Structure 1
């Protein structure tokens, strides 16, 4: 488990100077200048003062002049010039009469002498796209998840059950007209749905303000503002609150590696490359067509890690999934020879980005006990979940992209040829405990011509559905936490597209309702079986029974954890059942069949073991006991030892 020591950062002690101008205090300005202000959103941006006005503060160190232009003054910026506060790069103006709901922008004469209107980088609310003004906001939400937050403080996610349902909120459900659901409409539908399916967490693809819906939220313009397409910011708080009260955790997808190019947002904010790296070899992401943050500037790192704290503290998020970590930590990512320059040691590592990730992880784990950070990191970088004190990046988990690619490649093969690819299913156990892993079947695997998870499976429709059920149960029994993209639990036929909702009509068909029911039962059995998650990060929690039965396309293993009964998983990826299959077992006695993906209730063929098997003493598969069982075709079966 990663250990996260504190970094040298500061908390706000005084939010405004004495008097009536509502300017930031000296301590705040000092911490901003040092890049050590963990609560940046409480000082910069639009701060409602409670006396009918708002104090506007913006960091623009290279600007020649700054004004705040708002609808209250007919967008006349000259009516409200801002004052530069000495030495800090922060500009300030107090505007009487500007209150909650007022729209505004900063009008900046940059270092290049040109005037430009900019959205507020610290705005907590923004106009609905395609409009781009910032909106003065003050939350009125009263949280009702105290019990959840209190319990979270003592949790260690790496040692607990964690099955995550990944959601793109704009396309999970839509109105018949195509109009988006509001935050509250999403909550009304999503909260009971996820709770019924038994997922422990939801993971929302980015909810931060972005102008182009087709970016799925990965080209952010307002890092501190939730997507206004769904309503005001308190709507997101209500959604998260209701999920917590239903016992479901919330992970937010977070994008600190790159940002949108819109001229009214962060790009060349004060007439200079302020937030983006000025070095074109480091500041431009040619693959994604976006700017890359200047990780070498401490104020920019501060902006980002304060943003991480903001979502965890102000919105009660339980974790952050950090997008594109590999693109951040390698100088040569998506670059040809000659398009990048080595670091000071001659290597290809982005040392400043590594420093930022370590600072961010150390800060959030110190401030918000029980949360988790998850890296989407696709290479063999060592110590992604290692402690920052030992040079690791300090994440709680890392996505296991190797497992995903290998297993999807295997199940895409016809069962006739799977025996030649048997090692693709077993190789992940060579490195399964090198990091704390999440096994991801994410949105990236069901888009851009890759087809849905169901359509990756070979054979006719019955075989595709059977393969899908068997694959998911194998995944849930494998060491690591699980993440499944929305629609996979339906046996979604069509490839995902953000422009339309899921194929909910499939649940009218028994075979697709069977996949849905199997996922519900699988989650229930998973959370009720500590052997499946109590030792996910410990090699002692896993042992192969038979890893080499390639001829029958069958895999068997046992999961263990102290204080919990053992669980044995047998997965048969052959198209025929195996009768009289002698299975080695860790102990004699009765083993209940707690999950059988071929059950008739899931529209399977109904082959099984009448609910349990009896193991007798006698070595087999290097186990002290054994039983002769029936292994259904294209199916995974879980057996749990009776007390």
Structure 2
């Protein structure tokens, strides 16, 4: 192994570090012929000695050799193959022996056991057509509707392979374009939902081996479903056997707790300015995309990375070199990751969970932005959920909560998220955020989802909210699937299915999501009626009108301005009996716009707007213009 090139790793430019470090099964020349075994390599520059211990040597430890000038310890152990258990034994400068899991392990023992496992993939992918199509895709101008899933509890304690048929059948039936998995990197603490990662390169082993996960993703691709994965580069837990103080020094984290610890979360913060850490993390991002064919990464807690004073009091943080609060090293790192991933694998997405107004999150890095494809619209989520939780009589005084998002709608490329974070820890499930009796709860939630699906931006809904689950998310139990057969729940589930299909079938709802030319208000000021109406325009010339009523009072003769005369087909009515609505208020499938100016528009139509409901109309230039009243 003399002359082994680790220059890229030390310069921050190694984007495939998993190929050099960790464990790899090899066959090498020997005096009596080829010898099979495993090469182990680990970065531990402050160690005095390093051994690899495993079930192949009685956990006694086989010494590794320090490669001069690299800080990497490596060695070849004959006879060790796939499935072998191992850990690194590290002697610190202080004379203490540490036992550590491999930071680059590609497989790990099931918790509570913590050993790493030698692994080589034998999986044969069959998604060439999907990858070729993805490489030609432009996500910002395509329909994207995401089903967020905690895979460990979605259908109870099932494995990757076992889940494949059920997940594909359900997501296909519901009509989502993508699934997004809460983090699937190895995490021993189940209630962290995957956000406290101990094995960045190892898929969670409680659901199977790495090739079982490959099988699930391959099957999803075959069914035309994209796969997004939560990625957690902002922090990592303090488990003694994992990354923290890896060689007795602050190797992956900052030594200064003002920079290196999240006291709120009890975790360490990566040292984004250290080149080897940059190589580790950018390699990890690429690893999930290259090795598991993931179609995009949703980056967790970006705001905590961007600001040095995030969740800190005065005197508890260290300013940057210019005296500011921005974490310049983290900003450079995010630009680097986004640029590399998009250049390396065209068509993939990176998505920022970023809760502040940091500028240019989705602007290309070359233009001074962070380079993400999309950003979660946390402002839209907070404002609209605040409105949703008010009694209808009080909503008129908070009308702007539903319209304010259009003030900044074009500042970023947005995803509208109703995620797991909104239905945990006392926040209440979606159905229980809404006041009133069950009729009002379900009707309001149907109207809200239709508002969400017609609003500029892509869509994301967390599992269980598509049928109005009443309990909050609990990672230890699956959603209450049995209620989806009941009144209200079933109607809501059927509505989400039709929202997804109607959304995908109408380019007006997604092809101009990021420019003012894709949207116009019909009436943004009907606060007294708790009503909102607007137009969406497609790149193909399609026009869709959305009218939403958050009042329990119907509007029997509401005149709305429209940009074109003629037939406007009613393609959605959330008050339909099929959705467990009243079924008493509708427009016989269409309305006719006459050349009667109204508001800013040359034509108008009189519509029936049901209580606590939403309507969508699509202009049909070839439709009949007979008088329907």
Band the TM-score falls in, shorter-chain normalisation: over 0.9
Partner SS state of residue 620, structure 1:
coil
Take 2:129 and 2:256, find their aligned partners in 1: how far apart are those partners?
Answer: 48
1:530 aligns with 2:514: no
Corresponding residue number in structure 2 for 1:614: 592
**Is 2:458 aligned against 1:481?**
yes
Q: Matched residues in 2 for 1:62 and 1:539: separation?
A: 55
Q: Give CA-to-partner distance per residue, 1:308-333, whole Å, 9 cap, x none.
A: 00001100000000000000110100
**Residue of 57, 63, 69 corresponding to 1:87:** 69
Q: Which residue of structure 1 lines up, in the alignment, with residue 407 of structure 2?
A: 430
Any conservation in 2 of the 1:82–1:92 contact (CA below 8 Å)? Answer: yes
Distance apart, 1:254 and its partner CA: 0.5
Matched, 1:639 2:623: no
Which residue in 1 is equivalent to 2:627?
Answer: none
Is the 8 Å Cα contact of residues 64 and 109 (structure 1) preserved in structure 2?
yes
Q: How far apart, CA to CA, are the structure 2 residues paired with 1:423 and 1:501?
A: 36
Alignment of 1:485-504 (within 5 A): 485-504=462-481
2:575 and 2:610 in contact (8 A); partners too? yes
| CA distance in 1: counterparts of 2:502 and 2:542, whole angstroms | 13
Match of residue 269 from structure 1: 246
Instruction: Map residues 202-601 of structure 1 onto 2, 5 A cutoff.
Output: 202-601=179-578
Q: Give the stretch that moved more between structures: 52-61 or 246-255.
A: 52-61
Instruction: Give the total of aligned pairs.
Output: 613
1:24 Cα deviation from its structure 2 partner: 7.6
Residue from 596, 603, 621 that aligns with 2:580: 603
Cα distance in structure 1, aligned partners of 2:282 and 2:107: 19
Distance in structure 2 (CA, Å) of the matches to 1:293 and 1:350: 12
Does the residue aligned with 1:170 lie in a helix, a strand or coil?
A: coil
Match of 1:5 in 2: none
RMSD of equivalent CA atoms = 1.0
Shift of 1:564: 4.0
DSSP-derived class of the 1:344 partner: coil
Equivalent residue in structure 1 for 2:109, among 124, 127, 149: 127
The alignment partner of 1:580 has SS state of: strand
What's the offset of the Cα at 1:387?
1.4
What's the CA shift for 1:112?
A: 2.3
Report what 2:606 is aligned to.
628
- The answer for the alignment partner of 2:53 in structure 1 is 69
SS of the counterpart of 1:489? Answer: coil
State whether structure 2 residue 33 is matched by structure 1 residue 56.
Answer: no
**1:33: how far off?**
2.1
1:13 counterpart residue number: none
CA deviation digits over 1:12-69, x for unaligned, max 9?
A: xxxxxxxxxxx38633x12122221111111111111155311111111111101111
Distance (whole Å) between structure 1 residues aligned to residue 485 and residue 322 of structure 2: 61
Cα shift readout 1:264-301 (whole Å, capped 9, x = no counterpart): 00011011010011121110001111000011101101
Within the candidate set 148, 161, 173, 1:166 is matched to: 148
Distance 1:87 1:573 in 2: 67
Mapping 1:74-153, distance limit 5 Å: 74-77=58-61, 80-153=62-135
Query: Is the 8 Å Cα contact of residues 60 and 269 (structure 1) preserved in structure 2?
Result: yes
Q: Distance in 1 between matches of 2:379 and 2:608?
A: 31
Offset of 1:589 from its aligned partner? 1.0
Deviation at 1:515, TM superposition (A): 0.6
Is 1:183 matched up with 2:183? no
Partners in 2 of 1:547 and 1:318 — Cα distance?
37
Contact 1:529 1:564 in 2 (8 A): no
| Counterparts of 1:245 and 1:470, CA distance in 2 | 33
What is the alpha-carbon distance in structure 1 between the residues aligned to residue 176 and residue 194 of structure 2?
23
State how far apart, in whole Å, the 1-side matches of 2:70 and 2:619 are.
Answer: 65
Does the 8 Å contact 1:24/1:43 carry over to 2? Answer: no
In 2, Cα distance between equivalents of 1:34 and 1:343: 22
CA contact (8 A) 2:299 2:350 kept: yes
**TM-score (norm. length: structure 1):** 0.94
Assess if the C-alpha contact under 8 Å between 2:36 and 2:80 holds in 1. Answer: yes
- SS of equivalent to 2:23: strand
SS at match of 2:382: helix
For the Cα contact (< 8 Å) 1:32–1:88, is it kept in 2?
A: no
Distance 2:147 2:367 in 1: 32
Match of 2:137 among 138, 155, 159: 155
Q: Match of 2:625? A: none
CA contact (8 A) 1:38 1:305 kept: yes
Q: Is the 8 A contact 2:9 2:275 kept in 1?
A: no
Query: 1:618 Cα deviation (Å)?
Result: 1.8
Question: What is the alpha-carbon distance in structure 1 between the residues aligned to residue 241 and residue 197 of structure 2?
Answer: 12
**SS of equivalent residue, structure 1 residue 623:** coil
Q: In the alignment, is the contact (CA less than 8 A) between 2:335 and 2:369 conserved in 1?
A: yes
- Which string of whole-angstrom CA distances, capped at 9 and with x for unpartnered residues, describes residues 475-496 of structure 1? 0100011110100111111111
- For 1:348 and 1:238, locate their aligned partners in 2 and report how far apart those are by CA, in whole Å: 44
Output one character per residue of 1:155-177: Cα deviation in whole Å (capped at 9) or x when no partner.
11111100100000112111xxx
Give the Å deviation of 1:134.
0.1
The 2-side partners of 1:406 and 1:559 are apart by 21
TM superposition shift of 1:347: 0.5
The CA distance in 2 between the partners of 1:241 and 1:473, in whole Å, is: 31
TM-score (norm 2): 0.96
| Inter-partner Cα distance in structure 2 for 1:342 and 1:62 | 28
